[in-house]
Structure 1
Amino acid sequence: MNVQEDKRRSGILLGADGNALVNLVVVNAVLFVLIKFIYVIYLLSDLNIDAFYSSVFSWFILPADIDKLAYRPWTIISFMFTHERVMHVIANMLWLWLFGYIMQDLTGNRKLVSVYVWGGVSGAFAFVLAHYIFPRLEADLAFASLLGANASVMAVAVATTTVSPDYRIFPMINGGIPLWILTSLYVIIDFATISVGNGAMYLAHFAGGALGFMFIYQMRRGRDWSLWLNNLFDWFDNLFNPEKPSRKKNNKDSFFYKVSGQPPFKKYPNITQQRIDQILDKINVEGYHMLTDEEKDILRRAANEDEL
């Protein structure tokens, strides 16, 4: 039994069910194709293209005007999956794939969607608020709108870098490039592509990045902002799969005696392949840092047995 090989095999594969990164990319791609399909129908039907933007496209993007937003509250979520140009969606998905893949490797599979969604919501809040705070932006309130995954991807990029800024990519290039350098390059490119004078867009992207940092900052202090969203997804998933077993709570270290300080005897469970597989599945879903001391000790003992 080789623990390292089992760990690699148990990782989320490209086509595996529940791969958060693949699901995010698929949702963005499917919505882009759907919107373009409707656009082509308008073109072939000799309909007014302006009618497409007012009757269809505007119902997916986030309006800066709160009065319009009140009639389209779902756009707080839909805008972060909506793109108009091909290069816009391709660029965002490439950056999302790069940073999202690393984030899954570092934190598991259940943090990525939450960071993506919270980053987009933070960007939406900053975008709308900016148009009511700054007089120069208030003049554009009637027609200003926000679309694209930029704020969400910025949140994922900053969160991933906050977890491990010295994470190395492309190790064949002089030992690898630190992740913080790639993130700095991404931030420069992202802000450079924003239209000149669109200050609200800058604030939206900045808010997304700030959320990514705060997400990891709070997680390190034991406050997981992804819990309720993951629980909501699990509840929704179980509605359509009632036979799916509920997730079990983490097992704590068990002792023969309850005494203050270090206990005189500690119970060590037998190492079985089933137990190893359970721990590897937990690493895959929640990340190595969520293991208990007992589970880490089991992995170390299993690795030592392999070396003997």
Structure 2
Amino acid sequence: MGVLEQTKTKKVFFGADNDALVRIIILNILVTAVLFFIRSIYQLSDIDLSRFQSDVAAWFVLPADTGKLITRPWTVITFMFSHIDIWSLIANMLWLWAFGFIIQSLFGSRKLAPIYIYGGLAGALVYVLCSNVIPSLAPGVSNMALAGANACVMSIAVAATVAAPGYRIFPMLNGGIPLWILTLIYAVINFAGTSFGNPAAYGAELAGAAMGFLFVNRLDRGQDMGRWMNNVYDWFFDLFNPDKEPKPDSARRNIFYDTHGKPPYKKKPNLNQQRIDEILDKINQTGYRSLSSDEKEILQRASEEDL
């Protein structure tokens, strides 16, 4: 199998190392499955489903009422993974897979989760503000709540489109369909599917879109808004990782190993399967653009020799 085919295989299949897209989808499915399981117990027990909303679902979704939100601050995060409707879950996960795959291909898996979370947080903030500030919505704020990954997926969709405006899908169809057309179709479907009884949700989705644009814009300017999230994630899981490698001694490396000036020979990297696998893992984590010239040369040689 050629190295280019291996790269595609690692990105497509579930279970790839450090695949944030898979983990986010699984988390959405697990949280929603728990909610549906509890609701089925209420139904089998002939308990009024309105009690399920107040007893269980209300502790996962984002309340518009600031008084309730203060007592349930965790819902600012949990609502992003909680779906009350099965069709909403399926639609969001399909769109998340489509746009999230593009983000991981461009930037690696470490940018996807921050975009997802930032989009959800921006949506939550605007949703609560709209619900409490707009006069026509304020009277019913006590019964309003936001659930689902709509704002998060919207953020990822816009981020992917801004990052790669020339990206085309289905290249077999007359050269491919521009990504912005797919994003426009998604936006129309998403807004059409939003409940008219909860108009503040439109503001949440627009806020998610704005956050996706802002994230990529700052990234192009050299500012990674998600770096602190990845650092916290690494720090936490390294606490339970006995195989964590120590950080290299940069001072020693600079003194004894770094050289300045052009050597009288050209260094040719070794070509072996283990090295190729390491490079493919690096692409999966941080994207192709993070590779050094030597690593790119190894991939090129491997593809030519069909290693």
TM-score of the aligned structures, taking structure 1 as reference length: 0.87
Please give the alpha-carbon distance, in whole angstroms, between the structure 2 residues aligned to 1:238 and 1:12.
Answer: 27
Q: Distance in 1 between matches of 2:40 and 2:229?
A: 36
Q: Counterparts of 2:48 and 2:7 in 1: how far apart (Å)?
A: 56
Q: Counterpart in 2 of 1:190?
A: 190
Q: Distance in 1 between matches of 2:83 and 2:165?
A: 30
- Cross-structure match for 1:260: none
Post-superposition Cα deviations, 1:99-134, rounded to whole Å, max 9, x if no partner, equal 111221221111111111111111001101112322
Gaps of at least 5 residues in structure 1 are 258-262
Residues 255 and 266, structure 1, Cα contact 8 Å, conserved in 2:
no
1:234 corresponds to: 234
Distance 1:209 1:249 in 2: 42
Residue correspondence of structure 1 range 15-94 to structure 2 within 5 A: 15-94=15-94
User: Given the superposition, is the C-alpha separation of residues 201 and 249 from structure 1 closer, same or farther in structure 2, using an over 3 Å criterion?
Assistant: farther
Partners of 1:239 and 1:81 in 2: CA distance: 26
State the shift of 1:46 in Å: 2.4
Cα offset, 1:169, TM superposition:
1.1
- 1:222 match: 222
Q: How does 1:135-284 map to 2 (within 5 A)?
A: 135-196=135-196, 198-245=198-245, 256-257=259-260, 269-272=267-270, 273=272, 274-284=274-284
Q: How many residues align?
A: 300
One-letter identity of the residue aligned with 1:271? P
Separation in 1, partners of 2:290, 2:131: 41
Call closer, same or farther: CA 1:198–1:103 in 2, change over 3 Å: same
State the alpha-carbon separation in 1 of the partners of residues 248 and 212 from structure 2.
28
- TM-score, L = length of structure 2: 0.87
Q: Contact 1:117–1:152 at 8 Å: present in 2 too?
A: yes
Counterpart amino acid of residue 215 in structure 1: F
SS class of match (1:142)? helix
**Structure 1 residues 14 and 267 mapped into 2: Cα distance closer, same or farther (>3 Å)?**
farther
Residue 95 (str. 1) matches residue 77 (str. 2): no
Q: Per the alignment, in what secondary structure is the counterpart of residue 18 of structure 1?
A: coil
Task: Tell me by how many angstroms 1:141 deviates.
Answer: 1.7
CA deviations 1:179-215 (Å, max 9, x no partner) are: 1100011011111122236431111000001111111
Structure 2 CA distance, aligned partners of 1:69 and 1:249? 47
Residue equivalent to 2:290: 290
1:280 Cα shift? 3.0
* Larger displacement relative to structure 2 (264-273 or 231-240): 264-273
Secondary structure of the corresponding residue to residue 139 of structure 1: helix
Deviations 1:25-78 (A, max 9, x none): 111111111111111111222223222111111000001112111111110010
Q: 8 Å contact 2:123–2:207 — kept in the other structure? A: yes
Q: 1:121 to 1:246 in 2, by over 3 A?
A: farther
Q: Alpha carbons of 1:33 and 1:277: their partners in 2 closer, same or farther (altered >3 Å)?
A: closer
